[in-house]
Amino acid sequence: MNLIACTPWGGIESRPVYLFRLTNSSGAFVELTNFGAALVSAHVPDRYGRLGNVVLGYENLQGYLTDPNYMGVTIGRFANRIGCAAFELDGRRYLLEANDGANTNHGGPQGFHRQVFNHEIGENYIAFHYTSPDGEGGFPGTLELRVRYEWTEDNALIIGYQATTDLPTIANFTNHAYFNLSAEKSVIDGHKLQIFAQNIVEAGADHVPTGLIKPAGAFAFGGNDIGQKIRQENGKKTGINICYILDKQADNLSEACKLSDPKSGRSLIMRTTYPAIIAYTGEYIAGQIHQPFEGLCLECQYFPDSPNHPVFPSATLRPGELYDHLIELYFS
């Protein structure tokens, strides 16, 4: 049986913000907030049973209000880039808000990461609800999103996304947690990563896909130290920000990746119904609290810019359909 605690955490324009803590019988716990439907922390044991926080975040709401890194938040309406901040659907062209050069990234400047969600508390879960009005950020249709976080007895965090719309639209939601299994303020170079993917989505320097699919090659992760993949160019570390196409069938729930830290003994296995996962080594982390390469993002989602590439898996959501995807994080 989980213990769920709710603590006032400030407010935004008269809307209250809360910090929720879900604790299982072993004492391991996760913390969430209804601002951005964000994962704030995950305190799980190392090989000696000592709890430590393995998710980058902030100690107060102000940290999230000024955060440029999308720490732990829910991303919507569309995770990752949409090229030229525009897409066409059913013969109509939609113009979005650009916030990454000429492109839209993570739903635009006022995406779901900047919104206060309503909440409901269940026996072992917290569910967050947000209604995105027609035209918000340039996206069509009034969209209803439910994000459900369940914390289990065996230290698994199960994140479920369900959404409906009243007009044809595009939808692509994920969680943007940065993981550091050492539970220390250190770079992730020594972590080992395995991604169950043979191919990647080719992208340009702006991380917008070219439309080509190619073998992962030198970017494949088969249990490698992350530091082996981070290159040095002109004396500066250059990280990974790549969309991997998962080796899976349709929308079946299957393993996406395994992350481990030999020093602490912690590991994370991620399973998902999504077709792809973005591995991002955090080279652009900014701010006074965290440093570049301190955390690894593993973002299960549809392909970036998929509305502009008909050969990619479709992220179109139509009236009468239910958007229904899972991301499961198993800590051990």
State the sign of the Cα–Cα–Cα–Cα dihedral 111, 114, 117, 122. positive
Backbone φ and ψ of 310, nearest 5°: -60, -20
Single out the catalytic residue among 176, 191, 290, 325. Answer: 176
Q: Any catalytic annotation for residue 299?
A: yes
H, E, C per residue of the chain: CCEEEEEEEEEECCEEEEEEEEECCCCCEEEEECECCEEEEEEEECCCCCEEECECCCCCHHHHHCCCCCCCCEECCECCEEHHHEEEECCEEEECCCCECCEEECCCCCCHHHCECEEEECCCEEEEEEEECCCHHHCCCCEEEEEEEEECCCCEEEEEEEEEECCCEECECEECCEECCCCCCCCCCCCEEEECEEEEEEECCCCCEEEEEEECHHHCCEEEEHHHCCEEECCEEECCEEEEEECCCCCCCEEEEEEECCCCCCEEEEEECCCEEEEECCCCCCCCCCCCCCCEEEEEECCCCHHHCCCCCCCEECCCCCEEEEEEEEEC
As a whole number of Å, the end-to-end CA separation of the chain is 19
Single out the catalytic residue among 43, 299, 309, 328. Answer: 299
- Measure the CA dihedral 22/291/9/136, to 10°: -100
List, by residue number, the catalytic residues.
176, 299
